[in-house]
Amino acid sequence: MVNVAPDTTTEGERPNVSRGDGDTWFGHPRQLARLFTTEMWERFGYYGMRALLTLYLTKHFLFSDQTTTGLYGGFTALVYLTPLVGGFLADRYLGSKKSVKFGAVMMACGYFILCFGGETAKPVATIDGQRYEVQVQNFVDRPTSSGEEQRFVVAGDQRLLIKGNEDGTVSLLDQGGKEVRKIAKGGFEASGDRSMLFTLLMLIGLSMVTVGNGFFKPNISTIVGTLYDQGDRRRDAGFTIFYMGINLGSLFSQLLCPFLADHVGWWAGFGLAALGMLFSWSLIQFDGGRLAGYGEPPAQTGPDRSLIIYACAAIAIPVVLFLFWNLMNQPKAEPGAGIVGYLIHLPIMGKVLFGTFLVAIPVILVWSYRVGDPREFQMMLAAMVLIVFNVVFWTLFEQAGSSLTLFADRNTDLSIFGLFSISAGQTQFFNAFFIVALAPLFSIMWNGMARRGIEPTIPVKFGIALMGVGAGFLFLVWGSQFAGPDFKVGIWWLAGLYLIHSMAELCISPVGLSMITKLSIARIVGLMMGVWFLSISVAQYVAGVVAQVASVETVGGQVTNLKVSLDTYSGVFWKIGLVSAGIGFLLLLLSPLLKKWMHGVK
């Protein structure tokens, strides 16, 4: 994933350090190599953890699909929201370098805490109001299932095999395969008895990662910006090199962390992510003076506020924990409650995100209309329209870590040419691989088209991206028609989806922040940057809601009927694929108008 952060460096932060001493790295300041490696190891930790998170929640803690994908969406939403606070604190008080160090330590602690998951939750079932023990045969607590697990309801001296039916009913079978009891749709509810202590530890770990990311993510990019003087033409190329570290880190971690989790245990996968984060911290902490003068705290009058900020960050951990807990336990709206009922029953996080986003857009536009000239207002209007479409793109693209990972685990044949198999968590590496492989080609293509005067406008690129993300889902649905008798799709159909999604990402991600800085009224560029990241945060939350629609009934972390699972995923992916393609086509129709409003901004 091309994760772009803004260059928020101000003139006052740029140190008087010579950059023309000949000590360069690929023609760039030597310090770029250290920052590149720091970012690579940080992303190694984050994406390694992310590759395991959804599977960890469903298989180890035995949370339902709905709870898992909702928590995952809330977590990633806050990951994109907290950098707004972390960036502000660094600019005003801490400085970028101290913020990066503190964030790295907190994230490493969060990953280490995730290693302590305790015993696997014990599956139970509630049948028509009565609670039963569930025994699992051939179960191994790992990301990848053997496919040989069987789950039995224990009723007195009987062990009855659980079998889900296509009509939503559940059959309980005796040892001879004869149906002993048939439970009506909705009468069978699977859950798990899990340790409250280890559940809280897991949520504390995620909370620490969330807060630490807020300090680390925006400020490592700011330090990169300080390496270049104003007007230095190497700046864009330097950030391109820097962002390649993101995808290199995620590429290797999404292969290695799931591998260790499968062959050693969950703790080993999360532990490797924590080690990656510690490597990242050590590169900044022990820089040998190479970063002296870069990312230093701004000049301040009065006492040092660092300890107070660190204490407030520690206090923020239980606040984030409360938001996660509320997200997991918020009662759902009753059927037929309508949109008002749905909004009333939104978790606190959902209310805050949606409320802030829905208020920010019209308020900023009204302000722009009152203080700006017609040209500035039209440019701001174009920016806001593209921000809204940006929410749609990332909502669907970010199914990778939730519904697509569960699809890979349940309905994908993970064999590679029959030689070996990968795990469901490792399938997320496809995106990073395709980005690394295709980014240089796309850069050459855009430059070549620009020289010929035929490069697509920003709205057209956004429209292509939306149609592309929809096409990826439709491609996978097409592949589901060729599923085998085990109701599993060949892995190359899933790889094809990631290929299409990666090409779509390269149309939208690199140009988004640049577009915001060029279209915004100068006085509120920082605010507009905040709205941009807020839009991505909202998209992450909505992505969890969309993934909840694809929820499948599970017992002990496994679906009870693979055909029902395949049909559910195919139905949801078909709908969101068509919707995304249609919205992308709508944006293409609007692109001439948006181009006019942008007044020459490219």
Name the E strands within 81-157: 122-127, 130-137, 150-155
For 598, the token pair is 């942008």
Burial class of 305 by CB neighbour count within 10 A (0 to 12, 13 to 18, 19+): middle
Q: Furthest-apart CA pair in the chain: how many Å?
A: 82
Which residue is it, tokens 């490493």?
A: 108
Mean pLDDT of the chain: 88
Q: Hey, is 4 helix, strand or coil?
A: coil
Of 341 and 523, the structure prediction assigns the larger pLDDT to: 523
Percent of the chain beyond pLDDT 70?
94
Domains recognised in the chain with CATH numbers: 1-16+25-121+194-295+305-331 (1.20.1250.20), 122-193 (no CATH)
Distances (CA, A) of 524 to 372, 519, 521, 531, 562: 12, 11, 6, 11, 52
Residue 335 pLDDT grade (very low, low, confident, very high; cuts 50, 70, 90): low
| CA–CA separation, 194 and 32 (whole Å) | 46
202-250 residue pLDDT tens: 999 999 999 999 999 888 888 888 888 877 777 767 877 887 888 899 9
Least confident of 9-13, 193-197, 251-255, 306-310: 9-13
Neighbouring residues of 231: CB distance < 8 A, sequence distance ≥ 6: none
**Averaged pLDDT, 18-46:** 81
**Averaged pLDDT, 486-492:** 94
| CA–CA separation, 408 and 490 (whole Å) | 10
Q: Which of 227, 168, 250 is nearest to 17 (CA)?
A: 227
CA 435 from centroid of its chain's CA atoms: 16
Q: Hey, is 402 helix, strand or coil?
A: coil
Among 235-249, 435-449, 451-465, top mean pLDDT goes to 451-465
Among 87-91, 519-523, 582-586, top mean pLDDT goes to 582-586
| CA–CA separation, 183 and 188 (whole Å) | 7
Is 157's pLDDT higher than 70? yes
407 in the Ramachandran plot: left (φ > 0), alpha (ψ -120 to 50) or beta? alpha
Least confident of 3-12, 257-266, 366-375: 3-12
- What are the backbone angles phi and psi of residue 467, rounded to the nearest 5°? -65, -35
User: Angle CA(592)–CA(597)–CA(602) in degrees, nearest 5?
Assistant: 80
Residue 15 pLDDT grade (very low, low, confident, very high; cuts 50, 70, 90): very low
Which residue is it, tokens 């050459």?
A: 444
Q: Which residues, in sequence order, are bridge partners of residue 172? A: 162, 181
Please write down the HEC assignment for all residues of 289-347: CCCCCCCCCCCCCCCCCHHHHHHHHHHHHHHHHHHHHHHHHCCCCCCCCHHHHHHHCCC
Neighbouring residues of 116: CB distance < 8 A, sequence distance ≥ 6: 198, 201, 267
**What integer pLDDT is reported at residue 318 of this predicted model?**
96
- What are the backbone angles phi and psi of residue 189, rounded to the nearest 5°? -125, 120
**What integer pLDDT is reported at residue 5 of this predicted model?**
45
548-574 residue pLDDT tens: 988 888 877 778 788 989 999 999 999
364-415 residue pLDDT tens: 899 888 888 899 899 999 999 999 999 999 999 999 999 999 999 999 999 9
**Tell me, what amino acid is at 133?**
E
41-98 residue pLDDT tens: 999 999 999 999 999 999 999 999 999 999 999 999 999 999 889 988 988 888 899 9
Least confident of 303-307, 456-460, 536-540: 303-307
Could you tell me whether strands 558-559 and 554-555 are parallel, antiparallel, or unpaired per DSSP bridges? antiparallel
Question: 0.85 exceeded by the pTM?
Answer: yes
Least confident of 74-78, 162-166, 252-256: 162-166
- What are the backbone angles phi and psi of residue 162, rounded to the nearest 5°? -90, 130
The answer to whether 535 touches 513, Cβ cutoff 8 Å, is no
**Averaged pLDDT, 26-43:** 89
CB atoms within 10 A of CB 282: 14
**What integer pLDDT is reported at residue 396 of this predicted model?**
95
Q: Hey, is 599 helix, strand or coil?
A: coil
DSSP string, 28-87: EETHHHHHHHHHHHHHHHHHHHHHHHHHIIIIIS---HHHHHHHHHHHHHHHHHHHHHHH
**What integer pLDDT is reported at residue 267 of this predicted model?**
96
**What integer pLDDT is reported at residue 6 of this predicted model?**
44
For 176, the token pair is 């001879």
Residue 591 pLDDT grade (very low, low, confident, very high; cuts 50, 70, 90): very high
The answer to whether 376 touches 369, Cβ cutoff 8 Å, is no
